[in-house]
């Protein structure tokens, strides 16, 4: 469904992007699956495994923040890189209010994910 | 910062909206604070208390889903109702892809909040 500019292939365990780095491409899982994980207090915490059809990397794009988690391929995985020109044009046309609203949602998701990861560590 | 169409005043404890109901107005906290809470397994779980300047109700608007939590005033609270005509025009102009992206973020925030609420109950 998403307009994809190009495709990349990853093998099991290969890193797609790393938490804390700068980069704001948005990816679509075309084939395979992607594990999203964070490092909290030096411990790896899995946020979830996204299946085919899901997108990743959208928080950094929307909120203009560093990658909030790391992503790695689970098995042989094909990732579509979503056409950014198209998204940028749309994003830049949005009013400051609308941009602020979707950024707030993105930041709330980032915070909620951190809360979940911390509680997972504390439960261990 | 947000364009407000009208204002409503709530006294301490008054309900602004209720989880599960249909309604997609977006609110801005102009004065006071708002408690966001969910009912999980018949127990009230507080998601958080939003201060002045924060928005609420945006998930139902973005994802076109029922209210994902209840909201009530904490102390004397003034709520601005964000001008929907303006937001609707913007939302409807977005491509299906872009709409899908922000809906995915909203649904992920809904799911993350549910996970947090469930873990709070289990911790009791």
The pLDDT tens digits of the residues spanning B27-53 come to 999 999 999 999 999 999 999 999 999
Residues of chain A positioned with their CB less than 8 A from the CB of B87: 97-98, 101
Residues of chain B positioned with their CB less than 8 A from the CB of A55: 101, 104
Which residues, at least 6 apart from B8, have a Cβ–Cβ distance to it below 8 Å?
A: B78, B79, B81
Please write down the long-range contacts of A43-51, taking CB distance under 8 Å and 24 or more positions apart. Answer: A43/A121, A43/A124, A45/A117, A45/A120, A45/A121, A47/A113, A47/A116, A47/A117, A49/A74
Decide if B106 and A106 are in contact by the 8 Å CB cutoff: no
Decide if B109 and A112 are in contact by the 8 Å CB cutoff: yes
Which residues, at least 6 apart from B53, have a Cβ–Cβ distance to it below 8 Å?
A: B28, B29
ipTM value of the model? 0.92
The total number of residues shown for chain B amounts to: 124
Which residues, at least 6 apart from A52, have a Cβ–Cβ distance to it below 8 Å?
A: A29, A30, A31, A32, A33
Decide if pLDDT at A107 tops 90: yes
Which pair of tokens denotes residue A50? Answer: 């996204």
**pLDDT tens digits for range B75-104:** 999 999 998 888 899 999 899 999 999 999
- For B9, B20, B44, B99, the CA distances from B12, given in Å and listed in that order, are 10, 22, 17, 36
Give the distance, in angstroms, between the CA of residue A56 and the centroid of all CA atoms in the same chain: 3
Which residues, at least 6 apart from A77, have a Cβ–Cβ distance to it below 8 Å?
A: A9, A10, A11, A12, A14, A29, A31, A32, A33, A34
DSSP B42: T
Nearest Cβ partner of A108 from B90, B95, B109?
A: B109
**pLDDT tens digits for range A54-89:** 999 999 999 999 999 999 999 999 999 998 888 899
Decide if pLDDT at B1 tops 70: no
Average pLDDT, chain B: 93
Match 């018949």 to its residue by tokens: B42
Domains of chain B: 4-123 (2.60.120.10)
CB A3 within 8 A of CB A83: yes
Decide if pLDDT at A90 tops 80: yes
Nearest Cβ partner of A55 from B95, B104, B116?
A: B104
């Amino acid at each position: 469904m998403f307009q994809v500019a190009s495709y990349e292939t990853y093998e099991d365990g290969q890193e797609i992007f790393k938490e804390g780095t700068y980069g704001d491409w948005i990816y679509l899982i075309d084939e395979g699956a992607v594990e999203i994980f964070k490092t909290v207090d030096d411990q790896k915490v899995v946020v979830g495994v996204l299946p085919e059809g899901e997108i990743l990397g959208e928080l950094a794009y929307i909120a203009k923040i560093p990658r909030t988690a790391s992503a790695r391929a689970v098995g042989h995985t094909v990732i579509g890189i979503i056409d950014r020109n198209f998204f940028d044009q749309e994003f830049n046309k949005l009013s400051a209010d609308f941009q602020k609203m979707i950024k707030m949602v993105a930041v709330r998701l980032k915070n909620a994910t951190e809360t979940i990861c911390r509680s997972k560590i504390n439960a261990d």
